[in-house]
Amino acid sequence: MRMKLLTNLRKFGALLMLGLVFGVAQGAFAQGRDFSDGLTDAAKEARAYNQSTSEWADRQANTEAEAARALAAGKRSVVAPGQVGPGDKIKLTVFGEEDLSGEFEIDNTGSLAIPLVGEINVRGLTPREVERKVAHVLDSGYLKNPRVNIEVLNFRPFFILGEVNKPGSYPYANEMTVINAVALGGGYTTRAKTGQIIVRRAATPDKEEWIGEDALVYPGDVLRVDERFF
């Protein structure tokens, strides 16, 4: 009798376990879980996380390389805030002379190539100084009393690296601050040390300094958000 009771209990237990397994599986399918490729939701999330981490690391490495090239070029053509430099795009207007007017980019040597005139070195000049220099060149054998206007269309970009969600190079805008730059970079990561970040200025590419979130950013600057340790 006792043996028969134990046997029945084992059978009941097996049936109960089978029912539980069936119920869990049925519930999973009822919730829309997709096992068609053999991955659980957790595995899919892990794969997506790994992919996003890899993409972030690639962006980081590409930005590092691009910033290094820009800083190296800056050493050959040091440009202070407010001055034009390599990579800046300007609109040149010579009044009454459409052939000499247009949009131009300052090359890596800091020169501006104007049709029919040739290259004019404008490295380290402010936009108003560029106007005067171009006018002087044109007045020396090309035009009589030329009137020139320079408008900066796009300054060279700045770079943001480290613990931001979207490291990269971004267009510069006047009066940009560090916190504006962080926002363009997708905001801080959860590992970021906030409040102060490291900057290498385009004008002093060999020097690093700590600056606050309200500090101004300049064209060509390289910003790095450090990782907090706790």
DSSP string, 15-81: HHHHHHHHHHHHHHHHTT---TTS--HHHHHHHHHHHHHHHHHHHHHHHHHHHHHHHHHHHHS---T
The secondary structure element, H or E, covering residue 197 is strand 196-200
Domain with CATH 3.10.560.10 in the chain: 54-79+156-225
C-alpha to C-alpha distance for 146 and 116, rounded to whole angstroms: 15
pTM of the model: 0.62
The predicted pLDDT at position 3 comes to 43
The predicted pLDDT at position 60 comes to 86
C-beta atoms surrounding 32 within 10 Å: 7
CATH for the stretch 54-79+156-225 = 3.10.560.10
C-alpha to C-alpha distance for 9 and 4, rounded to whole angstroms: 9
Say how far residue 159 (Cα) sits from the centre of its chain: 6
The predicted pLDDT at position 103 comes to 94
CATH for the stretch 89-154 = 3.30.1950.10
Domain with CATH 3.30.1950.10 in the chain: 89-154
Residue 142, C-beta contacts closer than 8 angstroms, at least 6 positions apart: 116, 117
The predicted pLDDT at position 42 comes to 54
Query: Residue 159 half-sphere exposure, CB side, CA atoms within 13 Å?
Result: 25
The predicted pLDDT at position 73 comes to 67
C-alpha to C-alpha distance for 78 and 86, rounded to whole angstroms: 10
Per-residue tokens: 44: 């899919």
C-alpha to C-alpha distance for 149 and 137, rounded to whole angstroms: 14
* pLDDT mean by block of 10 residues, the chain; 230 residues: 44 47 44 48 55 82 84 63 84 92 89 89 90 94 91 90 93 91 94 92 86 92 90
C-alpha to C-alpha distance for 132 and 138, rounded to whole angstroms: 10
